[in-house]
């Protein structure tokens, strides 16, 4: 139960291991919609719920999610929830208790504001195993549930996320990019992502160098920065290209068009606990990645070797790193290759098949 890139990668592993899946996903959207479809080994039910719905309306969806789960529970050996949230963790826990099925929680974020603390704790307490994606979250879980804790970081499909010269040419031609250096960002405009920081640094550097900026994403969550307003205020309309969120399989094509990829996350507790999948995708592309040194990113990127780090919020430091990379294409190529090697050798999906298989078998065998 759940959604997002992390769950898709886990689902891919389960499919490769011969498991069949019933996926129930709760997704924020502009309008309410219910979608059902079958894809390979997956039977998928998606609840698309408007972000601006009142909490009481969102709470009612839980009963619908629970109903869908009851219909699919027959023949199920284990229940996996991608969070402890009230919309996924709670229905998963109830199904686990009612039908006596083991529950595995993939603990990927801090407790959200809409989930009461007692529900968050109850989901963790009653799970068989808790997968954590960052060392921060693992330390948090270990304090209460050491025997259940299992560190499984982000892993990705390195065959999907790899540089393609043909895609680079096609996308750059489509976007009207010539010889300019193209800086890329993929993700939401949520305030924790720090997109305004990147915009301000870009605005200064473009006065000196031939640059373009590609923003692949949008203000699709509450608390997003007014990125389009900032672009207008800075008169960057001709230099910044905004494209809406794309299907995941299309993202590598757009990233291939870029020369430098950036993740300017701010320094706060949310990012300290996180392990952003976009950084792994960036590195896997073999393109130089520049990221703020907050949270798990500092354990993944070795500054100057397989990527570059800057202090979160320090625009002068980011500008200095970007200028260095703009002037040195050979350095970009070298560091980009090392980034790709890091993902292939340590974080490609195939390396985590056995670990996840053992975790499932242990949960079902207890």
pLDDT of residue 7: 84
Report the CATH number that the domain containing residue 236 is assigned in CATH.
3.40.50.2000
> Is 40 within the bounds of a domain?
yes
Q: Please tell me the distance from the alpha carbon of residue 6 to that of residue 10, in angstroms, as a whole number.
A: 6
Same domain as 83, residue 24: yes
pLDDT of residue 41: 66
**Helix extents (H) in 17-109:** 55-72, 89-99
pLDDT of residue 290: 98
> Is 138 within the bounds of a domain?
yes
| 287 bridge partner residues | none
Q: What pTM did the predictor assign?
A: 0.92
> Is 235 within the bounds of a domain?
yes
pLDDT of residue 250: 96
What tens digit of pLDDT does each residue of 299-331 get? Answer: 999 999 999 999 999 999 999 999 999 999 999
Could you tell me which of 157, 108, 110 has the C-alpha nearest to residue 131? 108
Same domain as 151, residue 132: yes
**Phi, psi angles (nearest 5°) of residue 213:** -125, 130
As separate numbers, helices (DSSP H) first and strands (DSSP E) second, the chain gives: 15, 13
> Is 160 within the bounds of a domain?
no
pLDDT of residue 318: 98
> Is 322 within the bounds of a domain?
yes
Kindly give the interhelix angle for 89-99 and 55-72, rounded to the nearest 10 degrees.
Answer: 40
Q: Which parts of the chain sit beneath pLDDT 50?
A: none
Same domain as 230, residue 246: yes
- For 68, the domain range is 5-155+349-365
Could you tell me which of 305, 290, 302, 299 has the C-alpha nearest to residue 258? 290
Instruction: Please give the tally of structural domains in the chain.
Output: 2
pLDDT of residue 40: 73
Structure letter (DSSP) for residue 112: P
Q: Please tell me the distance from the alpha carbon of residue 318 to that of residue 311, in angstroms, as a whole number.
A: 8
pLDDT of residue 312: 97
Same domain as 355, residue 339: no
């Amino acid at each position: 139960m759940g959604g997002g890139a992390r769950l898709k990668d886990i689902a891919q592993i389960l499919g490769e291991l011969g498991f069949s899946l019933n996926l129930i996903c709760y997704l924020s959207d502009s309008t309410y919609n219910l979608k059902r479809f079958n894809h390979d080994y997956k039977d998928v039910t998606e609840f698309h719920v408007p972000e601006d719905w009142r909490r009481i309306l969102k709470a009612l969806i839980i009963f619908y999610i629970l109903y869908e789960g009851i219909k699919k529970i027959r023949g199920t050996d284990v229940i996996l929830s991608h969070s402890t949230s009230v919309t996924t963790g709670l229905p998963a826990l109830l199904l686990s208790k009612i039908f006596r099925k083991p529950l595995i929680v993939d603990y990927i974020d801090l407790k959200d504001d809409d989930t009461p603390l007692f529900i968050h704790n109850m989901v963790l307490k009653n799970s068989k195993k808790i997968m954590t994606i960052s060392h921060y979250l693992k330390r948090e879980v270990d304090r209460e549930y050491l025997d259940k804790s299992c560190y499984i970081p982000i892993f990705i499909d390195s065959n999907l996320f790899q540089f393609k010269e043909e895609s680079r040419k096609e996308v750059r031609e489509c976007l009207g990019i010539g010889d300019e250096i193209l800086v890329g960002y993929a993700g939401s405009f949520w305030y924790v992502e720090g997109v305004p920081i990147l915009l301000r640094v870009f605005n200064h550097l473009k006065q000196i160098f031939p640059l373009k900026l590609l923003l692949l994403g949008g203000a699709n969550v509450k608390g997003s920065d007014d990125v389009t307003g900032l672009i207008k205020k800075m008169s960057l309309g001709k230099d910044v290209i905004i494209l809406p969120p794309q299907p995941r399989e299309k993202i590598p094509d757009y990233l291939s068009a870029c020369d430098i990829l950036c993740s300017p996350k701010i320094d706060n507790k949310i990012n300290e606990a996180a392990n952003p999948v976009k950084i792994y995708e960036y590195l896997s592309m073999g393109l130089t990645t520049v990221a703020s040194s907050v949270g798990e990113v500092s354990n993944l990127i070795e500054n100057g070797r397989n990527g570059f780090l800057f202090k979160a919020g320090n625009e002068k430091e980011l500008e200095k790193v970007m200028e260095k990379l703009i002037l040195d294409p050979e350095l970009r190529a070298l560091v980009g290759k090392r980034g790709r090697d890091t993902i292939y050798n340590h974080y490609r999906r195939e390396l985590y098949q056995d670990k996840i298989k053992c975790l499932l078998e242990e949960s079902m065998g207890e």
